[in-house]
A = this chain, B = another copy of it.
Amino acid sequence: MKTLKIASIPGDGVGREIMPEAIRVLEKVADVHGGLKFDFEEFPYSCDYYLKHGAMMPEDGMDRLSQFDSVFLGAVGDASKVPDHISLWGLLLKIRQEFQQEINIRPAKLLQGINSKLANPQDFDIVVVRENSEGEYSSIGGRIFHDDNEIAIQNNVFSKRATKQAMNIAFDLASKRKGLVTSATKSNGIFHAMPFWDEIFEEISAKHPNIKSESKHIDALAAYFITHPHELDVVVGSNLFGDILSDVGAAIMGSIGVAPSANLNLNGKYPSMFEPVHGSAPDIVGKGIANPIGQIWTAKMLLEFNGEANIAEHLLKVIEEVTADGYQTADLGGKYKMTEVTDEIIKRLGK
């Protein structure tokens, strides 16, 4: 019997509602397939935790999380309680950076039967490979001068090492898919970082003559997700651009409530972390209408990257069947509650 030790962090808002749903699904799918067991431990790290303890996690928080195979996260942040830059840099971004989860994988594909927000979308199937450790998400910078003369400076830091790594992973992925890598750039406006990004992209492209490659500026590319999503395959972007494009990808699927993501540690030193793309959505808390698909599809990625590709595929197939048959929450125009969607998935997982 293989046991996966999972640290679950429900976090804030709807994170706390959807986490139990995804755990129900994981327990069930393990049960159905046999040979796999989950050992979950829940950590209350969140904005409420901050209000009580003055920190998003205790001193030994990272140590404790490092003992697990993976971290499974709901959603973090509630600006009505704690400023976002405090809550995120104290938890989500801290884990991504300290656990060296340098790659974030975010698929966006047309799910059968889901009402995409696009008019007549052709079948699209995109994976966004996001550099996850540096770039625009840096804590270097500060402020100077007073009153109306005040300025803030923010330093973006791009390393060749991490940039190459993200691009190599994108080309690797594309070689197993449709064979196209699109780079999100903005070298026409962002003077130093993006020409650097483009040079590295050209270098890596040249090493993969069998994979087609192209560069698009982030503004045009975000528009292209809306006008021509079926023309894309693998998209590689910086930390910020990957963030934006994956939300746009989620929206064209129909709702940011459905999109999953995997924060991958590649050097084996620390756990990877799995979390849906959406936020904590404080406005819909307590209504039972949160879409559980994002967290459940994220559970599928947790299985996949823990060596359980078959079980993962089975789960995705069931998710698609259930959505295709109309079991959808209000954000997708459906009439079902969060738990009803989950129940249907669990029912169809079999046994």
Contacts and interface: CB of A to CB of B under 8 A. Distances in A.
Contacts of A138: 191
Interface residues of A, number: 73
A104 to B, nearest CB: 12
Interface string A155-172: 111111100100000000
Interface in A134-193: 136-139, 141-143, 147-161, 164, 186-193
A239 B154 CA distance: 14
Contacts of A218: 243-244
Q: How many copies of the polypeptide does the oligomer hold?
A: 2
A226 B117 contact: yes
B151 A160 contact: yes
Interface in A183-219: 186-197, 215, 217-219
Interface stretch (A31-39, A64-72, A246-254): A246-254
A93 interface: yes
A192 B152 contact: yes
The list of the 9 closest CB pairs from A to B, nearest first, reads A84-B188, A223-B251, A141-B192, A154-B193, A152-B196, A219-B247, A226-B251, A154-B156, A223-B247
Interface of A: 77, 79, 83-85, 87-89, 93, 115-120, 136-139, 141-143, 147-161, 164, 186-197, 215, 217-220, 222-224, 226-227, 239-240, 243-244, 246-248, 250-252, 255-256, 279
7 contacts: A77-B188, A84-B187, A88-B188, A147-B160, A148-B161, A152-B197, A219-B244
